[in-house]
Structures are given as C-alpha cells and as structure tokens.
Amino acid sequence: MTRRVLILCTGNSCRSQMAEALFETISDGAWESESAGSRPSGYVHPLAIKAMAELGIDISTNQSKSLDQFLDQPFDLVVTVCDNAKESCPIFPGAKEVLHWPFYDPADTTGSEEEQLVVFRRVRDEIKNKIESWMK
C-alpha cells in the first residue's frame, strides 16, 4: 500500500520541491509525495530544477502550491523543511506523524550562478541523505 507524505516549506520553490521528488525516487514508489508552501512563491526555482536534473530527476513541470489545498487530505507523514513553515503551518489532524527537518534555504544564497548552484547541490544532497537515513 502506498503511503502519502506532504512536505511543507514557506515558498515551495526549492527545498520542498526537491524533497517531494526525492521522496518518491528514493522510496521507489512506496511513497506518494506532495509539497506545498505557507506562502507559495508561484514558481519553482531554476537552480533547484538544475540541481535535480543532475540526478536525472525532472522537476521542471512542477508548480508552487499552497498548503491550503491539502488541509482536508489524509497523510501518513507531514514534514516541514524550514522553521518558518513549522511555525506557520496548521495542524494536520489526518497526519499519522509530523517531523521537522530544517534545511538552509538555498534561494537566500548570493554570488554567481555557479556559486549559488554549489549551495543548491549541498542542500539537495542533505535532503537526500536525510530521507535515505529516515527510510532505513
């Protein structure tokens, strides 16, 4: 039976988008994942798309979504990936488990595109490692 996870962030443009794709990929379909933001940015960050493409994962057609559209849905797991989302997210009464995995927001990085991409890769890999270790 497929389980469901909702990954929450503030803008739903970087961390939660990468986590959504990684959760499904790492679980090999055992988890259906969704991601959303408390204040959706309206886009998926191009460097998040690029960092995930390096792993062969295409998130270029993903969209930034509001957590409001998921409030009445049941989830086995809800994961917040930033402190702002943890503080501003409503309670999900249908969630069997709620976890907080804070990661640095790579969208806050400055510098050249290559310097920023280094940070996106680091955060992507941190998320990937966290999911893999949680699934063990």
Instruction: Please say if 82 is a catalytic residue.
Output: yes
Instruction: Please say if 14 is a catalytic residue.
Output: no
Q: Which entry of 9, 81, 107, 119 is annotated as an active-site residue?
A: 9
Q: What is the CA radius of gyration of the chain?
A: 14
Closest alpha carbon to 109 in 5, 21, 14: 14
Q: Which entry of 6, 89, 95, 107 is annotated as an active-site residue?
A: 89
What whole-number distance in Å separates Cα of residue 3 and Cα of residue 97?
A: 12
Q: Which entry of 5, 82, 85, 123 is annotated as an active-site residue?
A: 82
Residues with catalytic function: 9, 82, 89
